[in-house]
Amino acid sequence: MSVSWGRRLLASVLSGLASAGLVHLAMLTAFWIADSSNPAITGAAHQYFLSASLISFVVVFAFGVFGLLGRWWGALVAGIVAGIVAPVAGTSVQVLTQGVPIDETFVPSIASTLLTVNFGFLVATIATVPTVGRLVYRSLAAEGTTGPSEARVALVRLPAKNLAEGQTTHIERSEIDADLADSQWDAYVAAFAEHGWTTQEVPYAERLADSVFVEDAVVVVGGLAIIARSGSEARRAETDGVEEVLVARGYDIERVTNPGTLDGGDVLVVGDTVYVGRSSRTNADGIAQFRAFLTPRGYDVVAVPVTRALHLKSTVTALPDGTVIGHDDLVDESRLFTRFLPVPEKEGVAVVALDAETLLMSAAAPETAELLRELGYDVVTVDISEFEKLEGCVTCLSVRLG
């Protein structure tokens, strides 16, 4: 669900143009109607509001570049800022170009225009940016696949009969309730369906205990599917059914080969930057191969040490705005991430973005859920306790294709 910089820049430009253009047109129309369709007045209005419209475009564009237009509150703030700053600055430019001196009355007189000639611009901008501007931004910035598959598809895999035999590395083994795990998996899949996703089951792997953690078998970036090669030899057979599905969906296929190893759970995509964990399951050669696959496609691949947990995404994940969240006790080096936000619970480090405003996470991290709600997100929680006993989390139970 992260958005590439190219896509975000295009969305920001077009959102700014749509917002500023509609407001500018609205002001011309209003003056044209108010003065009995006088073309001279319309021309004068165009000259007067041109500077304000250009400044409004810049403000909306800036909010879009930082990913804030995707949220209703961010778009509303953008509308308020643009509605106030643009007409005030634009009118100042108009007045100064006419040679009016700056004295103690300059600022109050300019500010007063927000209640007179610029009032319509203010109202129109506040109304337009969170509606039309945000709609344009979201329609263009929504991350989807570049292959033939439809957007918002999640690949999932039924828990194996021998799930209780799944591997553990950094935690003590606990007894698994297989029936509870099945019902939790059903609730997890249902959460995707309830938020507009289509789920597709990959072929059942009855005797591959860890196969429910389907994310480890592949990394999907745009229209490319990179088939993993786990550092755990017992898990390498899990890729077969996953690869079949992705080939059928039309993805380009690359494969990590010997002596390289890589688990999908060690890969975190944040825009054009891809973080890869150097863990017990992913080695240096696997990272080098992975980098060779993605660098020609315009991605920066950053290697991250992982020594305190099984996978990179057992320690950090990313919010839709690109902020990386994690727990200090699990993260080896938080300075490698451009924006890092510590969360209060280890179970809260993993989130799946169901859309730009909605996060799916474990029910075992209520304090983190509340923190994310305070940041403006809708948070959906699911109980995945049986999978957490096997070092699983909400990210590794699916492969999101859109």
pLDDT digits (tens, 9 = 90+) for 30-44: 988 987 777 788 888
Regarding the domain delimited by 153-400, which CATH topology (the fold level of the hierarchy) does it fall under?
Answer: L-arginine/glycine Amidinotransferase; Chain A (3.75.10)
| Overall pTM > 0.85 | no
pLDDT exceeds 50 at position 144 = no
CB 340 within 8 A of CB 322: no
Q: Band the pLDDT of 1: cuts 50, 70, 90.
A: very low
Whether 396 is catalytic is: yes
Contact (CB, 8 A) for 343 and 327: yes
Work out the average pLDDT over 155-176: 96
Q: What is the pLDDT at residue 5?
A: 63
Q: From the candidates 170, 195, 311, 327, which is the catalytic residue?
A: 311
- Within 170-309, strands assigned E span 198-201, 218-221, 224-227, 252-255, 267-270, 273-278, 300-305
- Could you tell me where in the chain the CATH 3.75.10.10 domains are found? 153-400
Between these two residues, 101 and 54, which has the higher pLDDT value? Answer: 54
Q: Which residues contact 64 (CB under 8 A, 6 or more apart)?
A: 8, 11, 12, 13, 15, 16, 78, 137, 141
Between the two ends of the chain, the Cα-to-Cα distance in Å is 7
Is 393 among the catalytic positions?
no
Q: Which residue of the set 24, 327, 393, 396 is catalytic?
A: 396
pLDDT at 214 over 70: yes
**The token pair that represents 268 in the structure block:** 């975190």
Strands 198-201 and 153-156: parallel
Q: d(Cα 293, Cα 288) in Å, to the nearest integer?
A: 9
CB-count burial class (<10 Å; 0-12, 13-18, 19+) for 312: buried
Classify residue 222 as left (phi > 0), alpha (psi -120 to 50) or beta. left
